[in-house]
Structure 1
Amino acid sequence: LDDLPRIFDAGRAFFAADPAITGSRLHAEVERLAREAGWEIGIWHAGHLVGEFPHEVNDGAKAESYITPENDTPLRRTDKAGRTCHWILEIHLVDRARGFGGFYEQLLDLA
């Protein structure tokens, strides 16, 4: 699964190149990168906001708390309390025909 860090790095570079990137655009790019490498995305999202508790729904808006096709809000923003939003980028790759996959995640915007 050497593709995991490579796809993560490409996703991070895509994020870094667009100051107004939305969750939808980043998800589409991660999906494209995975497909190009011969994988499927193994989960419905490609990451989430960092919060006080893992995988909490931040600000009461599920789509806006995750990197998903439904998240059309800019990822670089502040939350309702005025704090800068920080993100985890998750790469879940699966090969359903062969019955295996892998997972890789890191902070997206602080490293």
Structure 2
Amino acid sequence: MAAPDRFDEQLRALALVEEERRAGAVFFEAVARGLVAPGRSEREVENLVSSLARELSGPRVRPPLPVVRSGPHTLLPPGREPAVDRLLDEDDVVVVALGADFARTLVLGGDPARRRLLDDLPAVYGAAREAYRADPALTGRHLHAELAARASKAGWTLADTPCAHLAGTADHPSPDTPLHRTTPDGWRARWTLTLHLTTPTADFAGTYTRPLNPTG
């Protein structure tokens, strides 16, 4: 099989951007329609979001199945489904994941600490992109350490798990391997970053999953 050329790389980058756009459209429309609401169960919300994803994507696209975690279930590692269903409370933090490369957090109530999490998650993600762009030798270990320090400064604890995986897969890099590299089959390594921030007392958590370098 021939190594991918520049055109192949551009097509792959555009596909990653489009996948994120579609997932974002589903998430924000679900919020706008009030599908994630107190009194509904996590499974009920998953079914509602799944139906919405099919509605917005059309018959030719098979959208990923959503995973919804709320309250204490947000403390579970990203990607792990709760063993039991749970009703959403009025002051809950809720995480909605749509596939391996997209997850967002929302807050149902007005608690200031929980709402601050909504601002801090994308801010820490922005710091990750800056670190990636600034350091060609950046490794997964160094990225995690930098983000843990940034999260701690904001009053959160970053989960002690790898925060980057190859986009579209569940493959995590060796912690000491530079992130700026090509894969064994010749593609530029494109990463998805998952931030899992908890309170120091592990009361609740938020997750933010987004491609780190979809276009470069």
TM range (shorter): 0.7 to 0.9
Q: How does 1:6-25 map to 2 (within 5 A)?
A: 6-25=123-142
Question: Offset of 1:49 from its aligned partner?
Answer: 1.1
Give the structure-1-normalised TM-score: 0.79
Q: What amino acid does structure 2 have at the position aligned with 1:76?
A: H
Match of residue 31, structure 1, among 140, 148, 155: 148
Q: How does 1:27-106 map to 2 (within 5 A)?
A: 27-51=144-168, 54-55=169-170, 57=171, 65-66=172-173, 71-97=175-201, 99-106=203-210
CA distance in 1 between partners of 2:139 and 2:158 (Å): 18
- After TM superposition, the runs of 4+ consecutive aligned structure 1 residues lying more than 4 A away are none
CA distance in 2 between partners of 1:38 and 1:45 (Å): 20
CA-to-aligned-CA distance 1:46-82 (integer Å, 9 cap, x gap): 121124xx31x4xxxxxxx24xxx6111101111111
Q: Are the equivalent residues in 2 in contact too, given 1:43–1:92 (CA < 8 A)?
A: no
Tell me the C-alpha RMSD between the 2 structures: 1.7
Which structure has the greater CA radius of gyration? 2
Give the structure-2-normalised TM-score: 0.42
Q: Are the equivalent residues in 1 in contact too, given 2:140–2:162 (CA < 8 A)?
A: no
How much identity, in percent, do the aligned residues show? 40
Question: Offset of 1:110 from its aligned partner?
Answer: 1.9
Indicate the residue corresponding to 2:22 in structure 1.
Answer: none
Structure with greater helix percent: 2
Q: How many residues are matched? A: 98
1:108 and 2:207 correspond: no
Structure number with greater CO (CA < 8 Å, separation at least 6) is: 1
CA distance in 2 between partners of 1:21 and 1:42 (Å): 19
> 3-state DSSP class of the match of 2:188?
coil
Q: What amino acid does structure 2 have at the position aligned with 1:82?
A: G
5+ residue gaps, structure 2:
1-116
Question: Offset of 1:23 from its aligned partner?
Answer: 1.0
5+ residue gaps, structure 1:
58-64
> 3-state DSSP class of the match of 1:104?
strand
